[in-house]
């Protein structure tokens, strides 16, 4: 079931479209904001709320990169793997994160603290390499700064 707050937030978006179902991405984002990810049940609830089918919603949900259809950790690290960051040392950064956290890209640490994901160019190429943690941008990264940044996310 969608919470009243989720419903209100989705309704607010839907009201600005001529068709309810147009708010599908907004709805997915709302649910994810509150729950971290979008479960199969949530897909069904959103579908019902927007007068469409779960298949229709899932078709949209599985298309987009920022919609998580699997549970994620408390903090989501998204490392930019696009060209400028790659030139500026993405691979080293990625390997450091993997070994620090003991997981592969796409995985979540066993304590549920971090999920590590690649992301495309974050539009901060002049400050490469970059990553975002819980939506917050971290730029001009090097192997040392990473460690300090991670500590800020208990």
Q: Choose the binding region for other proteins from 95-103, 105-113, 124-132, 145-153 (rule: CB under 8 A).
A: 124-132
Pick the binder of other proteins from 42, 76, 124, 146 (CB under 8 A). Answer: 124
Dihedral angle, C-alpha 31, 35, 37, 38, nearest 10 °: -50
User: Residues 34, 5: contact at Cβ < 8 Å?
Assistant: yes
- Residues 36-75, one symbol each (x = binds other proteins by CB under 8 A, - = not), give ----x--x--------xxxxxxxxx-xxxxxx--------
d(CA 28, CA 75): 18
- Residues 89-118, one symbol each (x = binds other proteins by CB under 8 A, - = not), give ------------------------------
Q: Is 8 exposed, middle or buried (0-12, 13-18, 19+ CB in 10 A)?
A: exposed
User: Residues 98, 105: contact at Cβ < 8 Å?
Assistant: yes
Minimum CB distance to other proteins, residue 116 (Å): 16
Binding-site ranges for other proteins (CB under 8 A): 16-19, 21-26, 28-29, 40, 43, 52-60, 62-67, 78, 81-84, 86-88, 119-128, 132, 135-137
């Amino acid at each position: 079931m969608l919470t009243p707050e989720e419903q209100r937030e989705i309704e607010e978006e839907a009201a600005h479209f001529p068709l309810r179902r147009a708010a599908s991405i907004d709805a997915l984002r709302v649910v994810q904001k509150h729950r971290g990810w979008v479960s199969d049940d949530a897909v069904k609830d959103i579908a019902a709320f927007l007068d469409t089918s779960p298949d229709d919603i899932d078709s949209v949900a599985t298309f987009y990169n920022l919609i998580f259809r699997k549970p994620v950790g408390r903090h989501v690290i998204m490392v930019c793997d696009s060209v400028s960051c790659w030139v500026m040392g993405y691979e080293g950064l990625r390997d450091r994160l993997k070994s620090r956290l003991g997981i592969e890209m796409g995985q979540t640490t066993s304590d549920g603290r971090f999920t590590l994901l690649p992301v495309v160019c974050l539009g901060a190429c002049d400050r490469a390499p970059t990553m975002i943690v819980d939506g917050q941008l971290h730029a001009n990264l090097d192997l040392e700064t990473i460690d300090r940044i991670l500590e800020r996310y208990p």
